[in-house]
Structure 1
Amino acid sequence: MGINEQTLKSPKIQQDPDLYQQIDITQKTSEKLLNLVNDLLDINKLENAKLEINLQKFKLIELISNLPTMMQALLKGKKINFNIKLLNINGQQLIISDQDKINRILINLLMNAAKFTQKGKIELHIYTPKKYPQRIYFKILDTGQGVLEKDIPYLFKPFFTTDNNLKQADFKLSSRLNKGAGLGLLICKTFTKLLKGEITVSSIYQQGTEFTFWIENQIQKNITYESVVEIKQNNITQKIRHKKILICDDDEFNRRLIEMILKDKIRYKTVKDGPSALTQAAKEKYDLILLDIKMPSMNGFEVIKKIKEINLHQNTPIVALTAYSMPEEVTEILKSGFNQCLNKPFKEEDILNLINEILT
């Protein structure tokens, strides 16, 4: 996905509409597949009581700024107007909550609206009632096909789909990715509940649907949260461009992706195995080390132990590049001396935000 993302930015690719479209389709399909996998993982975490809240401090505008671009792509070829209306709230409103989970709720609901609306409008209204100043409400309205009254009680059930014409042959992965796996609304309800909120739906068949959810803005409680993360801008800040990063990953694909992302932004050195990383770390001081966990000859746990023995890098922040994401796996990684984890597959914004967070 990351390689596709970088390739689509190439002027050469942008000048070839057919090739651009093919890569764009691959990117969108990959994103859908990743969303499906993430949904399944979240359902598994929910069933095992391991789904956690990651409190972050951010502005409302940071939450919604990418939505118009996303909707423009989803609504391409349709005569539909998309608008975001801030009713009694402004984009600079500070929020303390789990930005990623709110974003997942919004994306799921807006993708639903785009899928089932062929003409008319889709709107996102955001507001805070005077009666509940600690709450932020999000209402998604569409003029789509609506939902039959008999189906409404089942909308938040797992694997439920309103497509009553789904044939057995449609249960191929490609079809399910396009039609949806029936997990999105369950995820919305689960995340909303975790954020101490609520989600409701009203619909008139053949006229449209309204989903409304609210979350509790923890900033209203005036509490200091040690776990709150300040969201950084999606680029390398000027004051850290002179710093240097060592990247160790045995996968050439991942190395090339990171090089494409960091090129002309910050100094870096890439190596393909643990022994090479140790050689570089002994020769030169690095400000940050990105280290793959699963490698042949020496794995990440063995490498970090040796790096910490080098005087130059006893206090250097080291981030694990890993596909392991379960809480117990992350705990083991952090106990081994890693400062953070960067989960694969990652995108440009993930790695740039992480570098800003650690080095500024």
Structure 2
Amino acid sequence: MNGKTIRILLIEDNPGDARLLQILISEESNIQFKLIQVDRLSTGLEFLVKEAVDVVLLDLYLPDSQGADTLARLRVQAPAVPVVVLTGLEDERLGVTLVQAGAQDYLVKGQLTSFLLVRSMRYAIERKRTEEKILQLNAQLERRVEERTADLSRANAELAKVARAKDEFLASMSHELRTPLNAILGLAEALQEQTRGSLNEHQLKSLRLIEESGHHLLSLINDILDLSKIEAGKLDLQFDLIAVETICQASLQFIREAAVKKSISVSFNTNNMQAVLQADTRRLKQILVNLLSNAVKFTPEGGQVGLEVTAEPEQEVIHFTVWDTGIGIPVEELARLFQPFVQLDSSLSRQHEGTGLGLALVSRLTEMHGGSLSVSSEVGRGSRFTVSLPWHNVTAAQQEEATKVTSSVSLFRQALVIEDSTIAAEQIGRYLYELNIQVLAHPTGEGALDKALETHPDVIVLDILFPGMSGWEVLAQLKANPLTKDIPIIVVSVVDEPARGLALGAAEYLVKPISRQQLHQAINRAAHQRVEVRTALVVLPEPEINIEAPLILLAEDNETNIKFLVDYLADKGYRIILARNGLEAVSQAREEQPALILMDVQMPEMDGLEATRRIRATPELARVPIVAVTALAMPGDRERCLEAGMNEYLSKPLSLRGLAEIIERLLDEADEAG
């Protein structure tokens, strides 16, 4: 403040006190000041309206104002001006009250000195300026907080937008990739049925190669979607009590054929054959199959692959170790091993198929189970991957629930097990013997129908994956033959397509690995639901085909899908009408009154969901069967279709035989309903 004139407003009605204050201020030679003195508060307030001052010296007791009210009135009029209160009373409590009310200082007139008075005014001015700076800083901070909050809100909105876009991209990618795959696999399947003429063995081999490649691409799409769903937090685990030995055997079965082709010996060891684990069955199997598949892939011919399970009750942990005698991994590359889409060496990429997704999925799924994944490897000698999962002690009741033998006596006496895996066939056989069911075995799809006709079993347990004739074809043959069509068939397979199996006529569908409890319950359900069949069945002649075949409305905008679906359905004897968008579908349905509708979901003009709702709103179409045939395969898509009013949901790429079975079943049900 040196060199600057300090403007002081003195509000004091006592001339003597005013004179004394002026003298005390003037004795301080270090400051220049201008003193303005008034004797009433009202006069001082009027002055402050017109003029600016640096500090106010205020007497509390004036002709027009008394006590603390004097300060309060001044603060209302001039809140920004620093105030030093002057009083003839020495009262500490009053001083505290005045400072709390906004005074910068409190001085007793009888104790004033020049130094004390000037210092008090200086401090009052400085404190007020500091307060103003603090207020300004607070205001700036508040503005910044508001700006940052607004930025954060915008960022959150952008993140939400990105998340929605990612979800939409996943759904779109699923649709866009599955749609052409549907045509590829559908046409390959249709041609193998030889409905358009005979094919030689070379042509059939080429078609099977196309189909295998298409399914390989489909598995890649599923891996990408799984990884994306995990990263987006959209993948939920379904925990259940599972038998460790069973899931290990099922996982080993999955790689058996590939190992045999390379003459690789596969071993399995565990220190606890009765271990029961709380885990997601499908995802744990996915972990083990990925590790085992990699072990077989990177192990040269004649090598060894093994699965070891070590349970540690005290540590409450169970270790699944997959080892091999393969090419090994350099130590410096281990850190990159679990990154998505990473192949450790370009030469390996050319020599061994793969995308680098498998181990990334293994790592993420292990973490979701609350476990850890470790690896050790030596170049040229092989690798060991260990998945360690929490293994909490289960109660005796839970142990019994997961492994107990069903006590009820089955109505079946003889079962035919169609299974090419000796291990799986023996396991199923053991479970059936426990129900006092005699077991007959057949190792391939070929000849399965003849075996059933020869033995007349009460129930059939059928695998799906066979070399040569698939289990789907066996199932179709068994259900098409009048002598076997009423035999309950329980599918037990690693192929996770229960909807397809049930649509083809299976009584039960179990996905490996299975527990004895699952099989026993399925056997008993099938036994109790079975319609009694007469011992002597009479083969009735096939009914004559109606002159006017059922009319099917196909709502589909993809030209490739239209071509092969129309051709296939026509070959099956159906009449077809076409709608290329949802609006056309509604119009055609109302005009033509089809017997059944095949409805795509993603179409121009109007989507299949809205088209279905409008069709259902038409009284005469309220009960017409509608089947969703769509590339939408994300969680919730099936439920959306059924909620819109559809009867069935098929995800592309679809099985044409499965589609034909569903069409036939729905048309039969519609006829029975009248």
Given the two structures, how large is their TM-score scaled by the length of structure 1?
0.63
Give the Cα separation in 2 of the matches to 1:350 and 1:124: 36
Give the Cα separation in 2 of the matches to 1:347 and 1:208: 40
Quote the offset at 1:185 in angstroms.
0.8
Two-structure CA RMSD over aligned residues (Å): 5.4
CA contact (8 A) 2:307 2:320 kept: yes
Specify the code of the residue in structure 1 equivalent to 2:218.
L
Unaligned runs of 5+ in 1: 223-228
CA contact (8 A) 2:247 2:281 kept: no
Give the Cα separation in 2 of the matches to 1:340 and 1:45: 25
**1:160 match: secondary structure:** coil
- Between the two proteins, the alignment pairs up a number of residues equal to 326
**Which residue matches 2:263?**
79
What is the 5 A alignment of 1:249-264? 250=556, 251-252=561-562, 255=565
Quote the offset at 1:270 in angstroms.
7.4
Cα gap change, 1:186 to 1:4, in 2 (>3 Å): farther
Greater C-alpha radius of gyration? 2
**More contact order relative to length (CA 8 Å, sep ≥ 6):** 1
**1:192 match: secondary structure:** helix
**Which residue matches 1:160?**
342
Give the Cα separation in 1 of the matches to 2:264 and 2:213: 23
Give the Cα separation in 1 of the matches to 2:274 and 2:291: 22
Which stretch shifts more, 146-155 or 329-338? 329-338
Is 1:68 aligned to residue 253 of structure 2? yes
Quote the offset at 1:5 in angstroms.
7.1
Which stretch shifts more, 104-113 or 53-62? 53-62
CA contact (8 A) 2:629 2:650 kept: yes
The CA deviation string for residues 255-299 of structure 1, in whole angstroms up to 9 with x for no partner, is: 379979xx9xxxx99765435984699565x7xx76321346763
**1:321 match: secondary structure:** strand
Quote the offset at 1:15 in angstroms.
7.1
Give the Cα separation in 2 of the matches to 1:85 and 1:323: 42
What is the 5 A alignment of 1:1-360? 2-3=185-186, 6=189, 16=201, 18-53=202-237, 65=250, 68=253, 70-72=255-257, 74-75=258-259, 77-83=261-267, 88-89=272-273, 97=280, 99=282, 101-119=283-301, 120-125=303-308, 127=309, 129=311, 131=313, 138-163=320-345, 165=347, 178-213=352-387, 234=501, 236-237=504-505, 248=554, 250=556, 251-252=561-562, 255=565, 272-273=578-579, 274-275=585-586, 278=589, 291-295=599-603, 299-309=607-617, 320-326=628-634, 336-337=644-645, 342-346=650-654
**2:343 match: secondary structure:** coil
Give the Cα separation in 2 of the matches to 1:8 and 1:124: 40
Given the two structures, how large is their TM-score scaled by the length of structure 2?
0.38
Cα gap change, 1:321 to 1:96, in 2 (>3 Å): farther
Give the Cα separation in 2 of the matches to 1:44 and 1:14: 41
CA contact (8 A) 1:275 1:298 kept: no
**1:44 match: secondary structure:** helix
Quote the offset at 1:231 in angstroms.
5.9
Q: Percent identity?
A: 26
**1:22 match: secondary structure:** helix
CA contact (8 A) 2:566 2:576 kept: no
Cα gap change, 1:149 to 1:238, in 2 (>3 Å): closer
